[in-house]
Amino acid sequence: MSAFCSEIFVNFSFSDKRLVMEKTGRNDPCPCGSGRKYKKCCMKNDGTAGVDFKRLYLQKYRIRLKSQKDIDGIAQAGRLAMETLDLVESRLTIGVSTEEINTIVHEFTISRGAVPGPLNYRGYPKSVCTSVNEVICHGIPGPYLLRDGDIVNVDVTPILNGYYADASKTFFIGTPGRDAEKIVRVAAETLARGISKVKPGNTLGDIGHAIQRHAEGQGCSVVREFVGHGVGVDFHEPPQVLHYGRKGEGIMLVPGMVFTIEPMINLGAKDLQILDDDWTVVTRDGSLSAQFEQTLLVTEEGCRSLTPFDPLAGL
Ligand code: MF3
Ligand code: CO
Ligand code: CO
């Protein structure tokens, strides 16, 4: 039989494939039907050699694996995103309005020849999301003046030469209280733990599991209704990246995937409410919520952040 080892697996889900491979003994006949021992056949190459993942992932999941040109473009947009967040951070103090954050982001983005992705996206009226205290995400900039002890997430998505990069950080205004310090630290730690699972052969479920386990272990909760996402050529591409889940479940990570991890972590319960503006998402119990987001590339070696920063810096 001349079946190429990996062919038999491509119609399986990857968790099925893992199961087959884990159950096959080294000296058993190879499940690909080659007639050789498993250890002399598919065990050697993990069953993925020769698979056209670009085609398979597009057909099966609508996931667009990125070319080197795409990656370079997204990385450039990512550098701009990080410069934008650094600029915002340098201007944040007590008394600054969220509208002023919008002006800073909008003007800086335009000055670099880029376009703010949020502006007019599905009717969103501003160029950045500014989510204060109990706001989970999609806070709309306005007249609100930041106060001592507030936390504010600033989420930017520049489009540069047609490429999107998506990143956010939560900042302290003045002196944080204990609750603020805790939720921002836990949110940052969950992003770091999620990123640590990004490597070929791991699954999206591995990422979600690591995030959920840490957040809940710290007595916090994970928002379910908003998730990470593929990004790069569009703002929101497949797949959805859940911030909760089970080890080994979900789509297998392969080189060329670009997606965000952006866990929204609440100090109290996970339940949310959307305000009458149809955008602002708040915790139902009024507890604090924090978030950090990066755009990540799966590489042969593991992971490269296209919006690099150390989530734990300064915490
Ligand atoms: N930047 C957000 C994300 O991480 C999406 C904001 S959509 C907007 O996916 F319309 F509110 F800007
Ligand atoms: Co995002
Ligand atoms: Co974002």
Atom of ligand 1 nearest to the CA of 229: 9
* Ligand 3 centroid from CA 165, angstroms: 8
pLDDT at 9: 46
Residue nearest to atom 1 of ligand 1 (CA): 155
* Ligand 1 centroid from CA 139, angstroms: 10
- Answer whether 258's CB lies under 8 Å from 295's CB: yes
Q: What is the pLDDT along the chain (315 residues), one digit of tens a residue?
A: 333 334 444 444 555 455 456 667 778 787 777 787 777 766 666 667 789 999 999 999 999 999 999 999 999 999 999 999 999 999 999 999 999 999 999 999 999 999 999 999 999 999 999 999 999 999 999 999 999 999 999 999 999 999 999 999 999 999 999 999 999 999 999 999 999 999 999 999 999 999 999 999 999 999 999 999 999 999 999 999 999 999 999 999 999 999 999 999 999 999 999 999 999 999 999 999 999 999 999 999 999 999 999 999 989
pLDDT at 33: 75
Residue nearest to atom 11 of ligand 1 (CA): 138
Atom of ligand 1 nearest to the CA of 124: 10
Residues with CB under 6 A from ligand 1: 118, 121-122, 124, 129, 138, 155, 157, 166, 262, 293
Q: Determine the Cα–Cα distance for residues 135 and 234; give it in Å rounded to an integer.
A: 25
Residue nearest to atom 3 of ligand 1 (CA): 166
* Ligand 3 centroid from CA 245, angstroms: 21
Give the Cβ contact number of residue 237 at 10 Å: 17
Residue 147 tokens, joined: 């106060």
**Residues with beta carbon < 5 A to ion ligand 2?**
166, 260, 262
Give the Cβ contact number of residue 164 at 10 Å: 26
* Ligand 2 centroid from CA 270, angstroms: 19
Ligand with an atom nearest the CA of residue 168: 3
Atom of ligand 1 nearest to the CA of 138: 11
* Ligand 3 centroid from CA 167, angstroms: 5
pLDDT at 133: 99
* Ligand 1 centroid from CA 282, angstroms: 15
pLDDT at 14: 52
